[in-house]
């Protein structure tokens, strides 16, 4: 019988509890890698889902996922006139945090370019796409808003008509889809008193100039609605999404758009790279550092455990030497125990993780290549950890078994 297996059976309880502890530690290492992959997936999910070929953003900026980008809404019509462009859509996306039914509710408001975009591309698990220009929304299930429920955002009440699953923003908050006019109304909503004060301030500024005193009707216009004042711009969008015609030359379209001084053009891949290099880069490096520290700690812990188990069987090792056992047999005993502990710990980590990771607040995405790489790491750290025990075993004198 294999000596390592026999020794494990002799100390089954200690080996089992020790392996469980190693497995929990490896589960955290596995979870760190999964959290990183989930972070990347969630950060780029929205960029991939909207299906744009080019992103038109404010000039000299890096786009709405890296910084504030503001464009006039009518830029959509200008872009649509460029040869090779099949579709141009306004893009509005922002995060809000409100209270609903006594609970904190945080969501990413995503505007759909109604009426061209009614949300048919959104993968629904229940309900339907938007059917009217106002007061309807599609919510991700992570927001816990059931179909038919109504929620007040700003000055309007919206009804949940559709539900998605797994659509979240880069911060992990669930997406909520509105028509773009509703999304902009939510974004630029201000309290009634603030609006009244702004109108009064406009009236006061007009009264202070000669034109206001000569034309009193301008005072009423200044104190009226924003849309009644031509000099005030309409609310702006974050970007314009461009879809090209089949067979169109993306480089040629981009060259034309790049001549416009008020905008900057990016491809979808460039927008994703900017997003990952800015928002996700520090989190990625921090998770990588924690994972490296955990691997080092795992190596040290397994080494100490193997060393302690070796000390417990010093007399057995001495007896083996006394009856003529070779050093390779004794070293193989300790190495096999370390590898067995690492393999069982890896299995426990994977098994427990299947049940725990889905309950984490952020997505934990475990890829097959991560499991393979972690398996290789476990073999390496188990081998390195066994060296301390092997060193101790090889220095045991055979006559130790005769000591009282």
pLDDT in tens, the chain (404 residues): 455 566 666 667 777 888 888 888 888 888 888 888 888 888 888 888 888 889 998 888 887 877 788 888 888 888 888 899 888 888 888 888 888 888 888 999 988 888 888 888 888 898 899 999 889 999 998 898 999 899 998 888 999 999 998 888 877 888 999 998 899 888 887 777 777 777 777 777 776 676 656 566 666 666 656 555 655 556 778 888 898 988 888 888 988 888 888 888 998 888 888 888 777 777 778 888 888 888 888 778 877 777 777 766 666 666 666 666 676 777 777 788 788 888 888 899 999 988 898 888 888 888 888 888 888 888 888 888 777 777 767 666 666 655 54
Report d(CA 191, CA 195) in Å as an integer.
Answer: 6
Residue 1 is predicted with a pLDDT of: 40
- Name, in order, each residue with C-beta under 8 angstroms of 274's C-beta and a sequence gap of 6 or more: 62, 63, 65, 66, 266
DSSP letter string over 281-326? Answer: HHHHHHHHHHHHHHHHHHHHHHHHHHHHHHHHTHHHHHHHHHTT--
Q: Are 19 and 341 in contact (CB under 8 A)?
A: yes
CA dihedral 157, 162, 166, 172 (to 10 degrees): -10
Spell out a b/e string for 25-44, using b for 16 or more CB atoms within 10 Å of the CB, else e. Answer: bbbebbbbbbbbbbbbebbb
Please give the Cα distance from 120 to 128 (Å, whole number): 8
Residue 294: the pLDDT is 81
Asked whether 164 and 124 are in contact (CB, 8 A), the reply is yes
CA distances from 332 to 4, 86, 287, 311, 347 (A): 8, 68, 35, 16, 22
- Mode of pairing for the β-strands spanning 124-127 and 156-164: antiparallel
Tokens representing 174 are: 């669930």
| CA separation for the pair 263, 81 (Å, rounded) | 15
pLDDT value for 158: 93
pTM score: 0.75
Give exposure, 124-147, as e/b (b: 16+ Cβ within 10 Å): beebebbeeeeebbbbbebbebee
Looking at residue 100, what is its pLDDT? 83
Predicted confidence at residue 76, as pLDDT, reads 86
Q: Is the dihedral of CA 209, 212, 218, 220 positive or negative?
A: positive
Contact by Cβ (8 Å): 57, 241:
no
Instruction: Return all residues near 142 (Cβ < 8 A) that are at least 6 apart.
Output: 168, 173, 174
Strands 103-112 and 85-91: unpaired
Find all residues with CB under 8 Å of 237, minimum gap 6, and list them.
Answer: 70, 71, 72, 73, 75, 76, 90, 91, 92, 111, 180, 184
Give pLDDT, residue 3: 52
The answer to whether the CB of 132 falls within 8 A of the CB of 118 is no
Contact assessment for residue 34 and residue 221, using Cβ atoms and an 8 Å cutoff: no
Q: How far is CA 231 from the centre of its chain?
A: 41
Evaluate the omega torsion of the peptide bond into residue 115 and state whether it is cis, within 30 degrees of 0.
yes
């Amino acid at each position: 019988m294999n000596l390592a297996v026999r020794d494990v059976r002799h100390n089954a309880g200690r080996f089992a509890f020790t392996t469980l502890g190693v497995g929990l530690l490896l589960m955290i290492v596995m979870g760190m890698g999964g959290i990183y992959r989930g972070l990347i997936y969630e950060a780029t999910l929205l960029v991939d889902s909207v299906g744009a070929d080019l992103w038109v953003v404010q000039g000299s900026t890096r786009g709405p996922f890296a910084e504030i980008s503001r464009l006039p809404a009518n830029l959509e019509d200008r872009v649509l006139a460029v040869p090779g462009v099949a579709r141009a859509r306004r893009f509005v996306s922002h995060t809000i945090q409100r209270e609903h039914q006594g609970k904190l509710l945080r969501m990413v408001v995503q505007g759909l370019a109604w009426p061209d975009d009614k949300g048919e591309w959104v993968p629904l698990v229940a309900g339907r796409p938007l059917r009217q220009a106002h007061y309807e929304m599609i919510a991700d299930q992570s927001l816990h808003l059931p179909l038919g429920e109504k929620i007040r955002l700003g000055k309007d009440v919206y009804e949940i008509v559709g539900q998605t699953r797994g659509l979240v923003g880069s911060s992990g908050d669930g997406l909520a889809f509105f028509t773009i006019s509703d999304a902009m109304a939510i974004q630029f909503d201000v309290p009634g008193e603030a609006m009244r004060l702004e109108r009064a301030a406009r009236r006061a500024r007009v009264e202070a100039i000669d034109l206001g005193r000569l034309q009193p009707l301008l005072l009423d216009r200044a104190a009226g609605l924003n849309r009644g004042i031509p000099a005030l711009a309409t609310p702006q969008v974050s970007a314009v999404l461009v879809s090209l015609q089949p067979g169109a030359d993306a480089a040629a379209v981009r060259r034309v758009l790049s001549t416009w001084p008020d905008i900057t053009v990016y491809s979808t891949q460039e927008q994703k790279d900017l997003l990952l290099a800015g928002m996700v880069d520090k989190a990625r490096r921090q998770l990588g550092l924690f994972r490296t520290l955990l691997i080092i700690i795992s190596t040290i812990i397994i080494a100490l455990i193997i060393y302690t188990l070796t000390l417990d069987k010093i007399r057995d090792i001495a007896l083996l030497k006394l009856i003529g056992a070779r050093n390779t047999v004794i070293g193989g005993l300790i190495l096999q125990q370390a590898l067995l502990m690492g393999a069982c710990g890896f299995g426990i980590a994977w098994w427990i993780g299947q049940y725990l990771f889905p309950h984490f607040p952020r997505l934990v995405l475990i890829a097959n290549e991560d499991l393979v790489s972690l398996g290789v790491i476990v073999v390496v750290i188990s081998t390195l950890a066994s060296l301390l025990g092997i060193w101790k075993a090889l220095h045991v004198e055979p006559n130790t078994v005769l000591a009282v």
